Amino acid sequence: MFTRIKNFLHITVLMNLYSLRNLLTGNGAVWLKLDTSDLENMAQETVERKSLKLDGKNVLDLGCGTGTMLSYLHRKEHCIPHGVDLIRLNIHQCRKKMKDGHFSRQDIIEYLSKTKEKFDLVILYGVIGCFTVEDQEIIIGRIAKLLNVGGVLWIGANIYTDSVYKFQTYPVPRGFYEKICTDSSLWELDEFSELEVFGNGKYDQEQTTVLLTKKIIV
Ligand SMILES: C[S@@+](CC[C@H](N)C(=O)[O-])C[C@H]1O[C@@H](n2cnc3c(N)ncnc32)[C@H](O)[C@@H]1O
């Protein structure tokens, strides 16, 4: 019960406050301690690490905030941007930045059950922890169906239950991603410390990025 109230306050109050602040300051990150360049650097590192070729390809950012990563990938990699977020102000800012993008003010699970698009990169940066561990598995399963083979699901700012950082609403147990990979044999797993690779440890020095590459058709 407490966790659900915390999640509600986090998404409806805090996230709206950050979005309002971002409108006034121009900061592109819906975070207290991150800014536009943090998000852009992480997006670039991820593209390089997986040698992604996104020219003319669909990229979906779930919980896209003000569209900072998408707009960067649109400018630098010439991808077709798709974004989903619950906050009206965020979607408004995304549409202003990317006139030819596709944006929905919608719940992520609802969007995933309806869209007919296919993607080469799906981003969930700082978002997955808003969902129960059960729903996280459902979300990953639905994304699997929407990714092209060779496509990548990027789950960023991933926090584990034994982490020193205690503010994540729904952290995942150790072995969570390994189990998903062995259960389905669909994914190739690459996981790394965000502090080591992105230089990002502003929240939790142990937080990781998980990159799941889809190996076969489902
Ligand atoms: C910590 S912010 C991260 C935003 C963006 N990815 C970034 O790094 O700037 C989390 C975002 O997820 C969105 N969000 C949370 N739960 C959501 C849901 N169920 N459906 C759609 N968006 C959601 C919030 O509105 C917020 O913009």
**Structural domain spans, the chain:** 2-214
Report which DSSP code applies to 128: G
pTM (predicted TM-score): 0.95
Task: Report the largest interatomic distance among the alpha carbons of the chain, rounded to a whole angstrom.
Answer: 46
Nearest residue by C-alpha to atom 23 in ligand 1: 63
Task: Convert the pLDDT of each residue in 47-66 to its tens digit.
Answer: 999 999 999 999 999 999 99
Q: Looking up tokens 């990159």, which residue turns up? A: 211
- Asked if pLDDT for residue 1 goes beyond 80, the answer is no
- What average pLDDT does the segment 172-190 reach? 96
| Residue 7 confidence class, pLDDT cut points 50, 70, 90 | confident
Of the chain, the percentage scoring pLDDT greater than 90 comes to: 81
Nearest residue by C-alpha to atom 13 in ligand 1: 63
Q: Could you tell me if the CB of 60 is within 6 A of ligand 1?
A: no
Task: Convert the pLDDT of each residue in 69-79 to its tens digit.
Answer: 999 999 999 99
- What average pLDDT does the segment 1-11 reach? 82
- What average pLDDT does the segment 161-189 reach? 94
- Asked if pLDDT for residue 210 goes beyond 80, the answer is yes
* DSSP H stretches of helix in 50-122: 68-77, 88-97, 108-114
H or E segment and range at residue 150? strand 147-158
Going from the Cα of 130 to the center of ligand 1, the distance in angstroms, rounded, reads 8
Check residue 51 and give its pLDDT: 97
Q: Could you tell me if the CB of 58 is within 6 A of ligand 1?
A: no
Distances (CA, A) of 126 to 4, 65, 156, 170: 17, 10, 6, 11
- CATH, domain 2-214, list 3.30.365.10, 3.40.50.2000, 3.30.560.10, 3.40.50.150: 3.40.50.150
Number of helices (H), then strands (E), belonging to the chain: the values are 9, 7
Distance between terminal CA atoms of the chain?
Answer: 36
